[in-house]
């Protein structure tokens, strides 16, 4: 999975902003969502993202996993994420 080429983003300690330049839409991200997007840009797999978010934000992987999955599905639904192959693979 990878972020669409039509996506531009900026990230800071309070979260981030995502711009879909093809569709002219903008999204605000909380700090966790912003970090997930940064990890996706670094080509991290879903399992790696879950592990890193769990570690960075001090929450168990069992708590983090459904939220990460939901965010990835939302990114895909808004055409901000391109998924190739089964979920959780690049």
Q: Rounded to the nearest 5°, which phi and psi values hold at 74?
A: -65, -40
* Structural domain contains residue 60: yes
Q: What integer pLDDT is reported at residue 1 of this predicted model?
A: 87
Q: Is 71 exposed, middle or buried (0-12, 13-18, 19+ CB in 10 A)?
A: buried
CATH of the domain at 22: 1.10.10.1150
- The count of domains in the chain is 1
Q: What is the DSSP letter of 28?
A: E
- Range of 37's domain? 2-82
Q: Residue-wise pLDDT tens for the chain (90 aa)?
A: 889 999 999 999 899 999 999 999 999 999 999 999 999 999 999 999 999 999 999 999 999 999 999 999 999 999 999 887 554 444
* Structural domain contains residue 88: no
* Structural domain contains residue 90: no
Report pTM. Answer: 0.85
* Structural domain contains residue 58: yes
């Amino acid at each position: 999975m990878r972020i669409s080429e039509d996506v531009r983003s900026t990230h800071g300690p309070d979260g981030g902003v995502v711009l879909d330049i093809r569709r002219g839409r903008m999204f605000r991200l909380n700090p966790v969502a912003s970090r997930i997007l940064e990890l996706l840009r670094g080509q991290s797999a879903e399992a790696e993202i879950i592990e890193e978010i769990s570690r960075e934000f001090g929450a168990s992987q069992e708590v983090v996993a459904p939220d990460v999955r939901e965010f990835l599905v939302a990114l895909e639904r808004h055409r901000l994420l391109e998924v190739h192959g089964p979920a959780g693979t690049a």
